[in-house]
Amino acid sequence: MMDDESTRLVWQSIAGIVAQSPPEQALGELREFGWAELLLSEDSQLATEALFSAQGRHVVPWTGLDKVLLAHLRPDDDLWTATVVLPSAGHDVPTSMLSGSTLRITGVTAVRATRPALIVVPALEDGELVIASGRLPTDGVWPEHAGGLDPASGWTSLDVAIPAGELLVTRGTQAASAWAAAAAAGQRALAHELASLAESMLELAAEHVTSRKQFGVPIGSFQAVQHRLADVKVWVELAKLAAENAWEESDPRASALAKILAGRAARTAIKNCQQVLGGMGFTWEHQFHRLLRRASVLEPLLGGAEHLRERVGASIIAAGSGPRLVML
């Protein structure tokens, strides 16, 4: 593990790459920095927290989320030339299907300028979880542009069928344990990013209410405004604590809980900060709409809050116990 000074320098370096690098160069600079090696080491928490907190703050048009999942699904491959197809939005279990000689890929993927050399697809085969991986066919099955609510996010939905004959398929407990670890790691990463997005929304709103005046006084002096922003602050801090706690717990439900709370923080920030920003928050020139759209796209990935609450609740009932809650 790194000492405090080394940790600070690494954090600053990653944040600097995210903030200053042109979008088409950012992942390459992270590669040169050695971020993937850090992710695969005992300092994976530092690699994840630093990158995804910065992604949330700067709302970048790219993501490292697929690399986080690949670190558990295909750690021996080059993370930078491969990508993962996530389950469809709102799900944390695979939505792709492997049937005979065909893999029906249904999910969400990150779109980049170059086609990935390797795709990794968690899928179901006769109800059992499998991990299929291989090279893409040469025809145009891969999307070239992102879409949806936030095209700048780099995420898009995918629904295509490809031949499965040459794919490597991992089955059984190896596939199930790899996907469980990958999904938990992805949920932790998203929890950091969503908490950062919510905090950025709060900062924009706080800046606005201290400069905007009504009746000759800043609107931030009004109790109703203070209560709305205090509510956001509470959920942001809870989300941060839960994300930190998820790294200390071996129970994957702790990662799901962290994402649930981060999603709650983001939704509360969207509602309350939009309210205090008023018409300013609706303008295209203001930063707020970018934060709102990004949070709305990320919150359903690897399971939306409602879906995860049901799954965690059902598992607690079935097992008779749950993950340890972070002490507040």
CATH architecture of 174-319: Up-down Bundle (1.20)
Q: Over the stretch 130-174, which tens digit does the pLDDT of each residue have?
A: 999 998 876 667 777 777 778 888 898 989 899 998 899 999 999
CATH number of the domain located at residue range(s) 69-170 in this protein: 2.40.110
With beta carbons less than 8 A apart as the criterion, state whether 76 and 120 touch.
no
Q: What is the mean pLDDT of residues 241-268?
A: 94
Residue 128 pairs in a beta bridge with: 125
For 5-36, b where at least 16 C-beta lie within 10 A, e where not — what string? eeeeebbebbbebbeebeeeebbebbeeeebb
CA geometry: angle at 302 spanning 297 and 308, to 5°? 105
Q: Over the stretch 297-320, which tens digit does the pLDDT of each residue have?
A: 999 999 988 889 888 888 888 877
Residue 55 token pair: 């992604």
Query: pLDDT at position 216, please?
Result: 66
Q: Considering the entire predicted model, what is its pTM? A: 0.93
Residue whose tokens read 């991990």: 131
Q: Over the stretch 179-197, which tens digit does the pLDDT of each residue have?
A: 999 999 999 999 999 999 9
The CA-based diameter of the chain, rounded to the nearest angstrom, is 72
